[in-house]
Structure 1
């Protein structure tokens, strides 16, 4: 019986790995949904998301998110090993401080929320694989289409329409920076009514925003 259970567990694990690898290839051309979106659908909660290509998202938002979330995005292989080695882990599990945009995308698309050594152990190699298969522009495109920007508001297009009543392609730099300040706690933060903490974060993003030209080259249109 123990051997049968072990065999079934191994087959299940291999099946999950194979499915993940196949989905990674499929998502090169098909826009995925996120696990939080699936969770809301399964529990009868609303989901608002309109997937758009990166070309239909304001470069200001791309730059603001890059500046706020992962300024080494173009130079790492999906995992920022320098930050990962320096981050201090708390009792709740690995800190988000070392989480790259690629790792956040992998978590949103394939894994589950919360801090966990098990999740991080899966997230790291999968992020390297995703970085190789998708490349930088596709990874950012998927991230901006699955990130949550409010209760049930997913993706840049839905966020821009919900918070600023305009398309994501029409966001001004000031609006893009305010959206970036809501990450990673979009449920508790309103970009139209920024708190003192959000205004301080917006100031830091604004200070670095204009100096990103030498770092953001991988996301420029081909």
Structure 2
């Protein structure tokens, strides 16, 4: 019993120490620009071990040197209520759960033969909708691994609250736009603008910004399909929403 109590205490102290470490890291982000994220480092390692050469592009630019069109496009596409929520958009999360439940229910009604045939053809499975806010995405990419467990999701929630408590919305968006993935080895708004349009992030037009924003959920996929009909159609929708977006 004594050993068990000591073990529980050790686990509790370790968990507390980890949270204090995360808290200190996040507090420094108010004044220090992060050089890389956990996700970027894992991608760099993957590319180094799987590719003949490392193609990498990421350069920090301050908030003022990222076009307002891109800021509006990303918020319109990824997190429409960004400036108002406190890190978690519960309404969007509820809708995501409903869509996922409907997709799973539809899949469950298909026969085993149909599922096997679909898998053999390589057809897509029902899309799972995330509902994560920009702050949640930043928390995950900045400090966490890519595993999908309840424990990691819980840690993401705690980090999200920390980010919202210590950083302004403008700072959160600035860090996010400088480190989000926009293709294989392409990270941040400046690298994306240079790679896709041969111009700086400050010079992006509304249409170019909308297309970049639509790429974010699947950047590697859309990098290979720049003429995708879905990409153009979705960009038109985002373009229409951008004027109503409030910037931090």
Structure 1 residues 191 and 40, CA gap change in structure 2 (3 angstroms): closer
Give the 3-state SS of the residue equivalent to 2:130 in structure 1: helix
Quick check: 56-65 or 194-203, which moved more?
A: 194-203
Look up the match of 1:53: 62
Q: Which runs of 5+ in 1 are unaligned?
A: none
Look up the match of 2:242: 209
Quick check: 190-199 or 12-21, which moved more?
A: 190-199
1:131 to partner: Cα distance: 1.1
Structure 1 residues 35 and 86, CA gap change in structure 2 (3 angstroms): same
Q: Give per-residue Cα distances to partners, 1:107-150, cap 9 Å, x unaligned.
A: 11011225432222122232122112111100000110110001
Quick check: 60-69 or 6-15, which moved more?
A: 6-15
1:80 is aligned, of 79, 89, 108, to: 89
2:212 is aligned, of 165, 179, 192, to: 179
Q: Give per-residue Cα distances to partners, 1:184-219, cap 9 Å, x unaligned.
A: 11011129823011112111101212232xxx14x2
Quick check: 152-161 or 109-118, which moved more?
A: 109-118
Instruction: Please identify the structure whose Cα radius of gyration is greater.
Output: 2
1:195 partnered with 2:228: yes
Q: Distance in 2 between matches of 1:3 and 1:18?
A: 22
Look up the match of 2:18: 16
Structure 1 residues 192 and 86, CA gap change in structure 2 (3 angstroms): closer
1:55 to partner: Cα distance: 0.5
Look up the match of 2:32: 30
Q: Distance in 2 between matches of 1:163 and 1:187?
A: 13
1:146 partnered with 2:148: no
Give the 3-state SS of the residue equivalent to 1:187 in structure 2: helix
1:95-134 matches, within 5 Å, as: 96-134=129-167
Q: Which runs of 5+ in 2 are unaligned?
A: 49-53, 105-127
8 A Cα contact 2:206 2:239, kept in partner: no
| TM-score between both structures, scaled by the size of structure 1 | 0.86
Q: Distance in 2 between matches of 1:56 and 1:135?
A: 18
8 A Cα contact 1:77 1:128, kept in partner: yes
Q: Give per-residue Cα distances to partners, 1:36-63, cap 9 Å, x unaligned.
A: 2111344563332101111011111101
Give the 3-state SS of the residue equivalent to 1:193 in structure 2: coil
1:25 to partner: Cα distance: 0.4
Q: Give per-residue Cα distances to partners, 1:8-46, cap 9 Å, x unaligned.
A: 433332221111000000111112221121113445633
1:159-170 matches, within 5 Å, as: 159-170=192-203
| TM-score between both structures, scaled by the size of structure 2 | 0.78
8 A Cα contact 1:178 1:191, kept in partner: no
